[in-house]
Chain A
Amino acid sequence: MEYGLDLEYSFNEFLKGFGLSSEIAHIIWLPLPMLLVLVAAVVGVLVTVWLERKISAAAQQRIGPEYAGALGVLQPIADGLKLLVKEDIIPAKADGILFTAGPILVLIPVILSWLIVPFGQNLLISNVGIGIFLWIALSSIQPIGLLMSGYASNNKYSLLGGLRAAAQSISYEIPLALSVLAIVLMTNSLSTIDIVNQQSGAGILSWNIWRQPVGFIVFWICALAECERLPFDLPEAEEELVAGYQTEYAGMKFALFYLGSYINLILSALLVSILYLGGWGFPIPVELIAKFLNLPINAPFIQVFTASIGIVMTVLKAYLLVFIAILLRWTTPRVRIDQLLDLGWKFLLPISLANLLITAGLKLAFPQFFGG
């Protein structure tokens, strides 16, 4: 790849300068992007928790956290520390092995999915060919962890919560996958890099949201349902089920659920911005600006500048969507379980099928606009 930064190549060359073989250099390189993304995900969770507290406070005309750091920015760290030092309780009649394995199984697929999130042309852990399909496959593992923790808690509310979570997750995965399929149809590739590049032609005008408005809305609703955010937080509906599958959990195991749900929210927002809002693309193409200012696009400082603009744009778009999700959570009532399943199976599924069919037809009719 000529265009764009290639950090891996320069890092390997740098290590080879010390006389290391290329294999050793590769092994030293491998954990670095993973650690970086893991840290980014956790920091993202801290920011989201703080935003959630502040925005919910504003929605209810309160001030929210204020004393832990300026504007309460240290509040999420205090929350995390509290969970870290809390006693780890396994209920006496619970199933110890499954009770411990449940939260881990919920968290791991979510973190693994960060493998395919690109922040720039070469700024992702691995550009696997199956790209977005990997995310769909991984997110289907989560219900097993939820069922496992619901069953192992030996509590009827937990079991009901786990069953609800699995039912919800299964029914919303289908419209989600179908609306992704419409995007893949236009891109001719499953790779997230190709999906973003396909939208980068004319800045904001070529983003997929204009070509796939129905798919965008269906995907966003399904993503919220997969994250179990209000209005779809039935698995942990506190008035009905205490806290659903989380009822018996405390300390670090509860923190894993908490972390998992927020990482999943950020991941969904990132994927919406990649699939529909042009990913790392600036609303006006950076190449055009560079040409306008007579700057060479391949000069190192321009490369670093465009890469940082890419990261900022991806994060900005994702956090705009997180903001909308938080606003939705604090302003909408919860749907009932029958309304939830009705919405999934009788409304979103037919609509996303029709969207797929229309996209295929438009692709045949106008190949220059819908990917030939």
Chain B
Amino acid sequence: MSIAITTQFICFTVLSLVVITGALGVVLLESIVYSAFLLGGVFMSVAGLYLLLNASFVAAAQVLVYVGAVNVLIIFAIMLVNKKEDLKPINDIKSRRIISTSICLTLLSLLIRVDLTNVWSLSSPQTSIGEESTIRIGEHLFSDYLLPFEVASVLLLMAMIGAIVLARRDVMSKDISTGLPVDQELIEKSSEPLLTNKN
């Protein structure tokens, strides 16, 4: 085995181990903050797998979008609502866990079946396009994948406008969570009085 292939094999083993254990940690850990940070680690390792497949642009895009945007926003949201109290205990937690585990196992068996039945080897030996891939991705995005690309951007725009409408108090006349009429004067002002009456 040459040194290049050995290095590739070691990298692949380490990255897949990190992906699997990290993903299990995201689901199984009690602390939501640890889950969020582990999710970032999983995204990074997936980017590493893309790198091993000679898809450097996809790997960098994965880091930029999933780690730099999605994961940061998740952590941000967790920290803004950071409460030290424990979650309420749920009565039928056991049956819920059994149901979700069985659904996940079914999905897993489906994926394994696809993996085993599909023919993965390419019919003609194709040379890797490597650095050319950035140009190819651009060409595809602006020709045969133009419609999905644009639909995705319209979807994101809709989500953004929705979020702005929910966040801005002067659009709605009532507070969504409490139902109280909102204060139109100051957006920064707390919706409840800060000091309770002394008497």
Which residue of B60, B80, B82 contacts A137 across the interface (Cβ within 8 Å)? B60
The contact of B67 among A144, A167, A173, by CB within 8 Å, is A144
| Residues in B neighbouring A137, C-beta threshold 8 A | 60-61, 63-64, 68
Q: Which of B67-111 contact A (CB under 8 A)?
A: 67-69, 71-72, 75-76, 79-80, 82
Of chain B, the residue at the smallest CB distance from A135 is B60
Binary interface profile of A, 123-160, with partner B (CB < 8 Å = 1, else 0)?
Answer: 00000111001101110110110011011000000010
In the complex, which residues 1-47 of chain B have their Cβ closer than 8 Å to any Cβ of chain A?
A: 2-4, 33, 37, 40, 44
| Cβ of A166 under 8 Å from chain B | yes
Residue A87 is within 8 A (CB to CB) of chain B in the complex:
no
Q: A98 near B: Cβ within 8 Å? A: yes
Most buried by B among A129, A148, A162, A166: A129
* Known A98-B37, A134-B60, A141-B67; contact A23-B2, beta-carbon cutoff 8 A: yes
Interface: A84 (CB within 8 A): no
Cross-chain contact B134 with A190 (CB below 8 angstroms): yes
Residues in chain A near residue B37, CB distance under 8 A: 98, 144, 148
* A184-196 vs B, Cβ < 8 Å mask (1 yes, 0 no): 0000001000000
Is A23 a contact of B63 with CB atoms below 8 Å? Answer: no
How many of chain A's residues have a CB under 8 angstroms from any CB in B?
Answer: 27
Q: Kindly list chain A residues whose C-beta atoms are within 8 Å of the C-beta of B56.
A: 128-130, 134
Assembly CA distance A339 to B68 (angstroms): 23
B181 at the interface (CB under 8 A from A): no
Separation of A37 and B171 alpha carbons in the complex (Å): 54
Q: Does A27 contact B (CB under 8 A)?
A: yes
Pick the residue among A140, A147, A162, A173 that contacts B63 (CB under 8 A): A140
Given contacts A140-B67, A141-B67, A173-B68, contact A147 B134 (CB under 8 A): no
Cβ-based interface call for A170 (8 A): yes
The reply on A218 being an interface residue by CB < 8 A is: no
> How many angstroms between the C-alpha atoms of A159 and B131 in the bound complex?
41
Is the pair B64, A159 in contact by a Cβ cutoff of 8 Å? no
Residue contact B80 to A163, C-beta cutoff 8 Å: yes
Q: Given contacts A136-B64, A141-B63, is CB(A166)–CB(B80) below 8 Å? A: no
How many residues of chain B get a CB closer than 8 Å to chain A's CBs?
A: 26
Q: Within the complex, what minimum Cβ distance (angstroms) separates A261 from chain B?
A: 19
A133, B133: Cα distance in complex, Å: 14
User: In residues 1-50 of chain A, which contact B (Cβ within 8 Å)?
Assistant: 23, 27
Interface residues of A in 203-262 (CB under 8 A from B): none
Bound CA–CA A162/B76 (angstroms): 10
The answer to whether A23 touches B79, judged by C-beta atoms less than 8 angstroms apart, is no
Contact at A147–B69, with CB atoms within 8 Å?
no
- B2 in contact with A147 (CB, 8 Å): no
Q: A163-B80, A166-B76 are in contact. Are A130 and B64 (CB under 8 A)?
A: no
- Say how far A346's CB is from chain B's closest CB, in angstroms: 14
Residues of A with C-beta under 8 A to B40: 144
Q: How far is the CB of A144 from chain B (nearest CB, A)?
A: 6
Least CB distance from A86 to B in Å reads 27
State whether A147 and B131 are in contact (beta carbons under 8 Å apart), knowing that A140-B64, A141-B67 are contacts in the complex. Answer: no
The answer on a CB contact under 8 Å between B72 and A170 is: yes
Is A133 within 8 A of B3, CB to CB?
no
Q: Known contacts A98-B37, A130-B56, A136-B64; is A166 also within 8 Å of B72 by CB?
A: yes
CB <8 Å contact, B33 and A151: yes
A108 CB, min distance to chain B CBs, angstroms: 11
Residues of B with C-beta under 8 A to A190:
134
State in angstroms the CA–CA spacing of A306 and B79 once bound together.
52
Q: What distance in Å separates the Cβ of A130 from its nearest Cβ neighbour in chain B?
A: 5
Candidates A27, A133, A141, A147; contact of B76 at CB < 8 Å: A147
List chain A residues, Cβ under 8 A from B44.
141
- Residues of B with C-beta under 8 A to A128: 56, 131
A134 contacts which chain B residues (CB < 8 A)?
A: 56, 60
Nearest B residue to A159, CB-CB = B79
Give bound CA distance, A23 to B63, whole Å: 31
Would A129 and B3 count as touching, CB distance under 8 A?
no
**Distance of A190 Cα from B4 Cα, bound (Å):** 26
In the complex, chain B residues whose CB is within 8 Å of the CB of A150: 79
Of A23, A151, A166, which contacts B3 at CB under 8 A? Answer: A23
B interface, CB within 8 angstroms of A? 2-4, 33, 37, 40, 44, 56-57, 60-61, 63-64, 67-69, 71-72, 75-76, 79-80, 82, 130-131, 134
16 pairs, CB–CB < 8 Å, chain A vs chain B: A23-B3, A98-B37, A129-B130, A133-B57, A137-B61, A137-B64, A140-B67, A140-B69, A143-B72, A144-B37, A147-B75, A147-B79, A148-B37, A163-B79, A170-B69, A170-B72
Closest 9 CB pairs of A and B: A140-B68, A129-B131, A137-B60, A137-B64, A137-B63, A23-B3, A147-B75, A143-B72, A130-B56
Give chain A's interface residues, CB within 8 Å of chain B. Answer: 23, 27, 98, 128-130, 133-134, 136-138, 140-141, 143-144, 147-148, 150-151, 159, 162-163, 166-167, 170, 173, 190
